[in-house]
Structure 1
Amino acid sequence: MKDYPIEIDDYLSGNMSISEQQAFEERLRTDTELAQEFKLQKEMFTMYGNQKWIEGDMDILKTDQAKQLQSFFKSDKALEIKTTINEVISENRTNVNSKRFWFIGIAASIAVLLTVSLFVFKDKNYEELYASYIHLDEIPSLVTRGEDSHKLLEEAQLLFEAQKYEEATRSFSEYHQKETTINPLSYIYNGVAYIELGKFDSALEQFRHLEDSNTLQAKKAKWYRALVFLKQKNKTKIKEVLQIILSDTSNYKYKEAQELLDMID
């Protein structure tokens, strides 16, 4: 039985002498079966070896998904997986007449790719969904032309638009403490600012205030709560809120709630 996997592994790992490398490379040009197995094993070796993690069109590496994969492959968790794969292969290559370690290597590498894909792309999908549904341009301005503007509100909105969310939340909080009659839109702005800061409990509190405001804007609270859970990647909570929205066709963002539920379900 041919020991292609052992030879290929020795070549890729640099365990051959110069003369052995030259002889092996010559055989690659004439032995079709060896060339095919070399191509496949090289791809597997690249996945968990210390080489470039991807070859070909390098523009692919500029995508957000590629950057997340690169980051994962450099992590301690990926190193642990790689070490385990190599240990399993080493343990099973002692039988030189068996290709078992070769198939174990392929299976392990595929398992790693599936795990990483689920880990990375699941998170990525939630991030993309949040970005596509937040629609900040739909939030009416707090500053009305022709009317005396509330200085704190005007300042808070400007800070929000400049993406200075920490400062914006402070201005909104000061406004909420000082005033007895609150513009309900300020709860939306403040809540979204807290989402961007990763302060999800504070964001949910703002949307509870919005829902309790008994204004026309109150009907938007459930949708923004859903966006909080979307940002958190909390599928159970997202579905709960979306199903409440879908209980009545007149609810705010009914159509979008159905679309979002279909995508995450």
Structure 2
Amino acid sequence: MEDFLWELKTERFLNGELTSEELLAFEQEQATKPELKEYVTLSVQLKQALSEEDWYTHKNTSEQYTTVKKWYQEDDVLAFKEKIQQQATKEFTTKEKTFSLSKYWIPIAAACLLLLITLVFQLTAQPTMKQLYPEYATWNDTPSFIVLDQNTRNTKEQIELLYTNEKYQECIAVADKFLNTSTTDRTNVMIYKGFSLVKLNQYTAALVVFKTISESDAIDASKGLWYMALVYLKIEDKENLQKTLQTITASDTNYKYEKALELMNAIQ
């Protein structure tokens, strides 16, 4: 009976329904009964954690709310809640305790579920551009010029080896020499040059190279668009990244079309 009265008083206290006289008496009762004070404290913390107004605001601003709501309604989550309730009731109603804590299962179960929901929000939260970059940036996706049955290495093979050996400045120099004298196979050489510039953190220069590729009449000109997107992702230029991805996804024949769609959805 006393437990029920405590719950009733606590509920009225949380809802601001106690008169000044009742509030004073309730505070005095908590001072003499540590178990009651502990219950009231836990209830206050839980109410703050599950504030309807805060949850409503969060629900309407979180892009992941639909995902979490669906997860929260799944059978295994509901079963987990039921398991908490059963275990808490079993543990807290043991005859060895002089004070029944069975009423605590409600805030404990809710607190556990709140913790799980918080973890899901963290796991499903929209990744940052910095987090996405390592997943998409594959600057080792380079064309190969080396032919194993050749006894001598031509300029293009030299460019590839310099890049593979991380001699990026030398790779750029040899690539420039080739581009100044050749009118064929320029796209692949420019890719090596652009990649080397990225490795040297010279992003503006790299964008110029990739833009030139994208605007050429080469059959694989759309590669330039994808590499531009990767640079924008690296420097966290969301506006230009979105514009570039929109250009790529305008045609499913463009290089990395599927990846561009995936990345575009990830940064929205």
Superposition TM-score, scaled by structure 2 size: 0.48
Larger of the two Rg values belongs to structure: 2
